Every structure is written in C-alpha cells, then in structure tokens.
Amino acid sequence: MEIVRTIQEFKQKRFQGNFYSRPGMVVIHDQVHLGVEEVIWKMIKSCDLRIVILVPNCNETYQEWKFRTNLDTIKASLKIFNLDFLFIPDFEEKNYYEINGFEITPNQNWAGLLEGSYIKDFAKLNLNLFLNLYNLVQPKHLFVGQKDYYLARLLSDLIYGFGIDLELHVVESARNQQGVLYTGCLDRLSDSDKPQAEALNRTLEFIKRMIQNNKRDIEELESLAKDFVSSFLGFRLKKIYFLNAFTLDPVVSLDCADPILLAVMGQLGSEIFIDNIVI
C-alpha cells in the first residue's frame, strides 16, 4: 500500500495505473470499523486498482481532524486489504469541499430533509468533495455503505446529472450480534451505554413488525415507536422518517407500490445515531 499526500504525486501514481480496467474508490473519514471494512472488502473483490481516500468530515476543520485522527492506527488497520493507494489529501494544498468556477447546489426537495449531517449545506459540500475526487482519481467504481443511504442517493443524482462514467455500489450495512450498526459513534460510547445503542435498530424492527401486522397509519406507528423506545434509558428518539426509497420524498401513505426507506435518528449522550432499512 503506497501512501500519497500531494495532488502531483497522486496524478503520477494514478497515471502508472492506467492499464487497469476496474479502478475503484472508497472514501473514509476516520476509524476503520467493521462497517468500513465491509465496504473496502467489496471494492477489493470487484476492482483491480484499489484506492482509499482519507479525508475529514465536512463539518469539522482540517486542523481539528488532523489533531484527533490517529493515522498510524488507520494505516495499520488498512494493511490487511493490500490496497494499491491510500491517498491522504493535504487540505492546505486544496480544499476538496470547494469547487472553483461554479457551484453545485442540490435542488431535490429531500436534500435538506434530515437533520444533523444531512442538512442542505452538508449535502452540497459532499457533492463537491466527490466531484473533486472523481476528477482526480478517475475511478470506474465507487463504493459506499447503506448506512449512508442519503449520500448514495445524492451521488446517484450527481452521476446521472453529469453523465459520469461511474458505477455506484451500495454495500449492505454491517451489524454486530445485537443488530447494532457499526459506526464510529459506537466505539466512542462507554460500555455501560452500548446496550442502549440497540434502541435504534430495535425501533426499526419494531416498526417493521407493526407494518407487517397491518398497522398502516404513520402517526400511530410513530406513537407506538416512541412508547417502545422509552424502555431504553438515556436514549432519545429524535425523528422517524417514512420515505419513498426511490425519490426520498416523504410518504403520506404506506400503501404506495414503491419500497419505503424507514430511517430513524436518535441521540445517546452527545452522540447522534442514524439507521435505516428498506421495506
């Protein structure tokens, strides 16, 4: 695995890999937990040139990210994959969340629907990031986790809207034995709080069972879910979303023919958790 830090060096390395037919790219931000590993393994199995990009989140400064990120731990975690390149862009050389000359603004109604990291400004920044990285890396395949369903939907629109020759792969979310989604937030919880993190996936499964038992009224389902999750002490249910899985528009009836994306947001301590399933 070669570690590359500058644009010029990466362009030289990438040019040497031009004879590969299936270059792939995965973007990560910090910890290499099991969910991230599953996405990278999917790229490893599908591509002959494997590139991981390590960048800060769009809601923190580059200096904050450098201070809190343990690069040695990340590099050690990535050794098992036998990657071709780990690209760690220097944001003092170029801000990848900005595009010079024009601005991409998501115009979908759903782009600002979710709270937290999915507000409209962050959607725009993430589109800028991936367009910048695509222009530099020139992958044929891009891999993201289902956990980031909204990001995948944004990227799908970006690929279609710009006519980009890029195949997007959405990798099924990795979960522990209790069904909890692997995220960096989970690792930051204390041992005493970790059992309460089950509230999110248990709520998703509870709502799914209620729907299978012919509960179709959305307001009633939300009320039942709030009663159900109240047994998880310390966990606060912030929002439940019933969305059309194709358009991400809010649904007013569960009798629609299209699949429904059921997304739940909750808070445990200072950590925000988001999970989703398609039903």
pLDDT digits (tens, 9 = 90+) for 130-160: 999 999 999 999 999 888 888 888 898 889 8
Q: How far is 277 from 279, CA to CA, in rounded Å? A: 6
Q: Would you list the DSSP string of 65-105? A: HHHH--HHHHHHHHGGG--SEEE---TTT--TT--SS----
Long-range residue pairs from 122-126, CB within 8 A, at least 24 positions apart, any chain: 122/58, 122/59, 123/150, 123/154, 125/58, 125/97, 126/58, 126/97, 126/151, 126/154
Residue 112: the pLDDT is 62
Q: What angle do CA 148, 215, 204 make, to 5 degrees?
A: 25
pLDDT less than 70: residues of the chain: 107-120, 184-187, 189
Angle subtended at Cα 132 by Cα 182 and Cα 185, rounded to the nearest 5 degrees: 15
Which pLDDT value is given to residue 117? 44
Q: What is the pLDDT of residue 268?
A: 81
Contact between 140 and 167 under an 8 Å Cβ cutoff? The reply is: yes
Give the C-alpha separation, 161 to 35, whole Å: 29
